[in-house]
Structure 1
């Protein structure tokens, strides 16, 4: 059995925080340098990552005084400073569980364009989660009267029953885990109904669904709530401490991943949804005007070129194609020529079959005017 968890606590907390900071830096680069604009959710992520760093600094201080060791091997000064710095580390650490969720909600509202009622529900759940976590922090600080009696062991005090803090901690942890799962499943349900390549749909579901991992960590952390009343505080309470750091940093990472597509495309030099064969083309659309001297203005919006074009600009398909021989071009040519010579030819005469393609453009209103679905998803 490990008698000193201190090095493990520092290693786990700083490793996950450093990884989260890399994703935050990449996110800010995309928003500030590529999009040249920071949104409100970016500031929430900056605040959350700052709380994560501050929490790690305080965790390191608590380990210095004895956090991770058994309580009975510490002297009085070590016991008091361990409890003081450990509680101080919990305060910003717990806040990293709530504010990144608000950033995820802001992103999903912008991308998925839910109904007004659903927007209210999403923000209500986010606010309730943040308030629950804040209430837990305040209860942790003010559970004793006077508050400093919590870490000053020689000071007479009157504290709340441990079950009060345990119940509030369990509620806050459960609420946080539930919201993580909801924010991960909701995009998958919406994306399943959209018409887009399966590869992109799966990738977006994975990117927007990273909250499932942090939700699982939240469940694990919730099972450690009863240790809050443990008499071996310096040893037993360090487990929820580093699980809190892991969960908070995973939420920050999950909030950053969907924003990083432009950076990935810049590194690869092409769209991540386009194959290598098509990426060699410098332009997205090809001009097939050189295929026929009689086709003055031909612009093809598809990947394969036309095999053959007749004198009227129609595509001539193979015989097995269902559109072959719809119009007899030789008969049509002779009929049109005779009509021109007799002077009876009119441009609106029905010389053949008229095929009309109808294109419908759908858009949804945004804050700055109509915003199309492709525009909303351009960031991911």
Structure 2
């Protein structure tokens, strides 16, 4: 029996984590370029990425001691260190399943503006999921008395029955997968009621529904829960370990995808950098506070002709476009003559530029058109 899953464990865990970190970097770039600040969901994503990295470090150490090899081929020291570092890797690894869900809930709360009751339901489900995952990992660590007896074979062992651990792990995995599916289907249902093109509805539903993939991975991982009772712990228990890494990183990626839409502007050769000038201050709206009185407000300057908008909802700015208005001499003289006749002409006024600002308030389901503008940039 010379099978060794160690190299595969390291390759899978670090490959998916590297991919997730690429998406997290893109997310933070968009926040800096477009919004100039981080939102609450960004902090949850950063925390999730840190947990994924720490979990991979512990996993790599466990592989060094023998994780992925058959338990009977290891020395006593290798057995003890393998179990210790495997358990250590599970602690931050399992948290990567819960923290990104809180980020998705915070993001959907800004975009979909759910009712107060539904918002409470979403956060309750997210908190229950995180508490279930935390309870599972704490039970895994404290299953023996004393806890150190889990990996120190010289101590007397008084541990929980494996069936208890399997039941708790199955509940936590099922809860995590269910919430992934719910957070993937909920936006699609809401988007279908908005006045958008079918192409945009499909695109946004796909972007916000990537959690469906991680939910499927969660189901696959849940089927491996019975391996917790396997006597070949270093060989069989490594499967749920790298599946946990895959699922957690996929959830992080799914939570980042909806925020990366402004990168399409860069791909098209346009600038997305946040500007302090009034001409671009409303290019990307901030809907981070859905409880504010002006929620769902869209400001559109009408000092220029109607702006063109591409398929993704971004404003297309023509070259040389500016808010400065130069009055042609013939039009200026005609305007001056008209004002002299009406008695309102004032030579000191010079060139007067007027702008009309339209404010459209989003009334939830009653105003699907203005609600759709929230999806131009997340």
* Fold equivalence (TM over 0.5): yes
How big is each residue's C-alpha offset from its partner over 1:285-311, in whole Å with a ceiling of 9 and x where there is no partner? Answer: xxxxx9xx9xx99xxxxxxxxxxxxxx
Alignment partner of 1:363 is 2:362 = yes
Which residue does the alignment assign to 1:187?
187
RMSD of aligned residue pairs (Cα, Å): 2.7
CA gap 1:272/1:360 in 2 versus in 1, 3 angstroms = closer
Distance 1:69 1:145 in 2: 27
Alignment partner of 1:58 is 2:58 = yes
Distance 1:26 1:360 in 2: 32
* Conservation of the 8 A alpha-carbon contact between 2:310 and 2:316: no
TM-score normalised per structure 2: 0.76
Q: Offset at 1:263?
A: 1.9
Which residue does the alignment assign to 2:232?
232
Please list, as runs of the form range in 1=range in 2, the aligned pairs for 1:173-212 lying within 5 A after superposition: 173-212=173-212
Distance 2:363 2:257 in 1: 25
CA gap 1:45/1:272 in 2 versus in 1, 3 angstroms = farther
Q: Which of 303, 306, 311 does residue 273 from structure 1 map onto? A: 311
Distance 2:259 2:189 in 1: 20
Which residue does the alignment assign to 1:373?
371
Which residue does the alignment assign to 2:132?
132
In structure 2, the gaps of 5 or more residues are 271-308, 323-327, 336-357, 365-369
Distance 1:154 1:205 in 2: 55
SS in 2 for 1:121: helix
Alignment partner of 1:99 is 2:99 = yes
TM-score normalised per structure 1: 0.75
Distance 1:187 1:142 in 2: 39
Q: Offset at 1:220?
A: 0.3
CA gap 1:274/1:99 in 2 versus in 1, 3 angstroms = closer
Distance 1:177 1:3 in 2: 31
Distance 1:205 1:216 in 2: 17
Please list, as runs of the form range in 1=range in 2, the aligned pairs for 1:107-122 lying within 5 A after superposition: 107-122=107-122
Please list, as runs of the form range in 1=range in 2, the aligned pairs for 1:154-303 lying within 5 A after superposition: 154-269=154-269, 273=311, 281-282=318-319
* Conservation of the 8 A alpha-carbon contact between 1:265 and 1:272: no
Distance 2:231 2:256 in 1: 39
Alignment partner of 1:88 is 2:126 = no
Distance 2:245 2:56 in 1: 8
* Conservation of the 8 A alpha-carbon contact between 2:6 and 2:69: yes
Please list, as runs of the form range in 1=range in 2, the aligned pairs for 1:30-69 lying within 5 A after superposition: 30-69=30-69
Distance 1:272 1:78 in 2: 59
Q: Offset at 1:223?
A: 0.3
Q: Offset at 1:281?
A: 4.6
CA gap 1:206/1:274 in 2 versus in 1, 3 angstroms = closer
Which stretch of structure 1 is more off in the superposition, 211-220 or 190-199? 190-199
* Conservation of the 8 A alpha-carbon contact between 2:66 and 2:78: yes
Distance 1:26 1:280 in 2: 24
SS in 2 for 1:144: coil
Distance 1:123 1:377 in 2: 22
Please list, as runs of the form range in 1=range in 2, the aligned pairs for 1:62-81 lying within 5 A after superposition: 62-81=62-81
SS in 2 for 1:266: helix
CA gap 1:280/1:44 in 2 versus in 1, 3 angstroms = closer
User: Larger RCO: Structure 1 or Structure 2 (Cα < 8 Å, ≥ 6 residues apart)?
Assistant: 2
Give 4+ residue runs of structure 1 displaced > 6 Å after superposition.
none
Distance 1:232 1:274 in 2: 52
Count residues in correspondence.
Answer: 305
* Conservation of the 8 A alpha-carbon contact between 1:224 and 1:239: yes
Q: Offset at 1:32?
A: 1.9
Q: Offset at 1:267?
A: 2.6
